[in-house]
Amino acid sequence: MSAPILEVQSLRKYFPVRNLWKRRVGWLRALDDVSFAVQPGEILGIVGESGCGKSTLGKTLMGIHTATQGRILFQDQDIAPLKPHQSRKFRQHLQYCYQDPGASLDPRWTIRASLHEPLIVHTDLGEAEREARVREILAAVGLPETHLDLYPHEISGGQQRRVGLARILTLKPSVVILDEPTSGLDVSVQATILKLFLSLQEQFGLTYLFVSHDLSVVRLICDRVAVMYLGRIVEIGETAQVFATPRHPYTQSLLAAIPKIGGARVTDTFALEGEPPSPTNLPSGCRFRTRCPKAQPLCAEKDPALRADWPRQEAACHFAE
């Protein structure tokens, strides 16, 4: 196995919780001791309920949020403690695709101006070279050159996502973090966008972190999947292995909720009840124990670590089988 292109070690991101007088009264643990590695050319899915920390993970990797603690090794360089001007040469090879691409495009700029901007900021290319690369990338994402003179509001949501991808690809990145890239799209458009992701991966040699709540899409496109709950990875492994034999009770509950062909749901094993605890007041021991049907006294006493007791699969549960 080759060296990881991206490795995360004990990453933490805490946000201060303040009262009416702006005094800090606690911490919101959005990420709490997250570790994993991504191989070149791999697609790693990050899944979990809303509020589990998956989007915060992507933004912390990008430097949009500053890590509280831990290491982010990108091409063997720890980029977590770097200042913005120090990390620029690394960050251009690690790009983030926003959940709402329309909001990330300036409504006052044409598509051409939006695609030229990252090249102006990060490269020394002349105008003619920039224009040639912009046209090349626009063709790669399946949009005609006539779109260059349009504004974001003049194109559809699916086309906006293509423009968002094109804007990232102009810098020729190595790793792309995709935050809910198919949310809000019609099923037919989703299929087109997913096909485009795979085509671009092959064409440009990309590595993806695929942040999503849509387990069906993750199962289709990802090589491995990491399941997050309250700021931690509770299970990680090859996608086929995790979907066939989920080890953690939380993963089992998530997969049990997936609709089957014909509209039937698997409800006999769906035991997930209630809301997750507040990340500002986590329970002792295992943070899933308050909702877990397998919880025992040990779960309140000891926080389980990821166990690699199964081939190509790890789970953080005392009683996983």
* 144 CB-near residues (< 8 Å, 6+ apart): 138
Total-model pTM: 0.89
Task: Answer yes or no: are the C-beta atoms of 94 and 173 closer than 8 Å.
Answer: yes
Q: Is 202:121 a contact under the CB 8 Å cutoff?
A: no
**Domains of the chain with bracketed CATH:** 6-93+173-315 (3.40.50.300)
Q: How far is CA 320 from the centre of its chain?
A: 26
In the chain, DSSP assigns E strands to: 6-18, 24-38, 43-47, 69-74, 77-78, 94-97, 175-179, 207-211, 224-229, 232-238, 307-310, 313-315
Which residues does 42 contact at the CB level (< 8 Å), separation at least 6? 207, 208, 223, 224
Give per-residue pLDDT as tens, 205-264. Answer: 999 999 998 888 899 999 999 999 999 999 999 999 999 999 999 999 888 877 665 554
8 Å CB contact between 253 and 270: yes
Q: What are phi and psi of 95, to 5 degrees?
A: -115, 155
Amino acid in the structure at residue 291? R
Alpha-carbon distance 160 to 69, whole Å?
A: 35
> 235 near 227, Cβ under 8 Å?
yes
Q: What is the predicted pLDDT for the residue at 267?
A: 41
Residues of the chain with pLDDT under 70: 1, 101-102, 259-273
Give the tens place of pLDDT for each residue, 190-215.
888 888 899 999 988 999 999 998 88
